[in-house]
Structure 1
Amino acid sequence: MCSVVVAEDHPVVLGALRVVLESLGYKSIHVTSSGVDVVPMIREHSPELVVLDLKLNGFGGLEVLERIRAIGLVCKVVIFTSADPEHYLMRCRRAGAMAFVSKSASMQHLQNAIKAVRSGYTYFPGTFAGNVGQSEAHRDERELIARLSTREMEIMLKLARGESNKHIALAMNLSHKTISTYKTRLMLKLGVSSLVALGALVKRNGLF
């Protein structure tokens, strides 16, 4: 059986992942908690499968997906995350993921997803409720978020978590000036005037 790269930073989740992967015959399991390490590990180990969380240190999972596609690395990616599928499922699909499984689902769903992907199928089960029952203001916010690029999403989440421009710049290998420019652009696009308001918007829309 070919190897698998797992990008996950929670020990309990990682333990459950190992059980599932070993039950499917995977013997060589390479683990990282940092998005920065995923592409180098794929290059080193040439895994058949990548199990990727979206909430990682350094690069977020979406940015990792786009880097995998841009470089032309060949691997099957299963997203296993607690991130809201309404904001992320279609983004992940467009970026090349073959499956999206919520951590709130049973591990059987993950097992089914891996089996499907391994056989050459995609696995995006069910649908989400979308805008049903939401206020007009809330729908407007979600539409604004949907228009953000992957890089803008990553920086928005880091800013909302209280990370400084300097820290974000170092983590994403960008200049301080670039992060400052993204911050200003995000404020304008989302119609917020402070980081406190940005954090409230992110929380209100279930992004963390």
Structure 2
Amino acid sequence: MKSALIVDDHPVVRAAVRIVLQTEGFKDIHEVSNGSEVVPLIREYKPQLVVLDLRLPTIEGLDVLARIKANDLDCRVLIFTSHEAMFYQERCIRAGAMAYVTKTNQLQQLHKAIQAVMSGYTYFTSLSDSANTLNTVQLTEKQMIDQLSDRELSIFRQLAQGKANKAIAEDMHLSHKTISTYKTRTMQKLGLSSVVHLRDFAKRNQLT
């Protein structure tokens, strides 16, 4: 019996993914809305497939991926997220994901990705065309973004969304001082001098 775990904090998205999985023959389907419960649930239910969002409360998807890999858990991970593939797909590939589908695509893409992964293949977005359309400034900025660690990128996005250091610290279960250090380091790496510039940088690169 094919089994799956859906990891997403939006009930409507989970319901849609469940329908797709059922159409693809999955009978044993479990759901969870935050990242901290994923590893224990994988151990408990042993799903063959994990459909994972990257934007999650408590622990973000990239951290979840790292924990799945570190614990050598036997499951196939399909990323289903609103995050731009240009900045996140390569990170997910390095972390062990077998597929990457953005939520802006038709659900047919999710069907195809599930079919590919369950057949032992990968399913990723071709980024060459997107990269070719970037101007020189954007290409340079993408290279700068690629140099950020997963945690730095996560904090960068949250700062760009207008979240305060204290709120980010609470969400990520880190100290205010740690977030402040990450903020300073990230802005230095990106050559930014203010939060206003940070937000402009994020908007320009579709990271808000």
TM-score under structure 2 normalisation? 0.91
Whether 1:99 and 2:99 are equivalent positions in the alignment is yes
Structure 1 residue 158 and structure 2 residue 161: aligned?
Answer: no
Asked if the contact 1:9–1:33 (Cα under 8 Å) also holds between the matched residues in 2, the reply is yes
Which string of whole-angstrom CA distances, capped at 9 and with x for unpartnered residues, describes residues 2-61 of structure 1? 421111223332222111111122222222222222222222222111001112222221
Name 2:109's counterpart in structure 1.
109
- Which residue is equivalent to 1:34? 34
- CA contact under 8 A between 1:85 and 1:128: conserved in structure 2? no
Same amino acid, percent of matched pairs: 51
Q: 1:27 to 1:180 in 2, by over 3 A?
A: same
Amino acid at match of 2:89: L
Task: Give the equivalent residue in structure 1 for 2:23.
Answer: 23
Matched, 1:201 2:201: yes
- Quote the residue 1:184 is aligned against: 184
Change in CA separation of 1:166 and 1:154 when aligned onto 2, cut-off 3 Å: same
2:58 maps to which residue?
A: 58
1:60-139 mapped onto 2 (5 Å cutoff): 60-139=60-139
Q: Distance in 2 between matches of 1:85 and 1:56?
A: 17
CA deviations 1:61-83 (Å, max 9, x no partner) are 11211121122222100011121
C-alpha offsets along residues 87-138 of structure 1, whole Å, 9 cap, x if unaligned? 1111111110001112222222211211221122111143342432433222
Who is 2:14 aligned against? 14
Is the CA contact 1:86–1:128 (under 8 Å) kept in the aligned structure 2?
A: no
Gaps of 5+ in 2: none
Instruction: Please state whether the residue corresponding to 2:58 is helix, strand or coil.
Output: coil
**What does residue range 136-151 of structure 1 map to in structure 2 within 5 Å?**
136-151=136-151
Q: Distance in 2 between matches of 1:115 and 1:83?
A: 22
Q: Distance in 2 between matches of 1:24 and 1:134?
A: 37
CA distance in 2, matches of 1:159, 1:7: 24
Matched-pair contact (CA < 8 Å) for 1:9–1:56: yes
SS of structure 1 residue aligned to 2:112: helix
Deviations 1:163-202 (A, max 9, x none): 2222222322222221111011011001112222212211
> TM-score, normalization: structure 1?
0.91
SS in 1 for 2:87: helix
**8 Å CA contact 2:169, 2:175 repeated in 1:** yes
Please state whether the residue corresponding to 1:51 is helix, strand or coil.
Answer: strand
Q: Which residue of 2 aligns with 1:49?
A: 49
Letter matched to residue 155 of structure 1: I
Q: Distance in 2 between matches of 1:45 and 1:93?
A: 24
SS of the equivalent of 1:77 reads: strand
When the two chains are superposed, the root-mean-square deviation of aligned CA atoms in Å is 1.7
Structure 1 residues without counterparts, runs of 5 or longer: none
Maintained 8 Å contact 1:116/1:123: yes
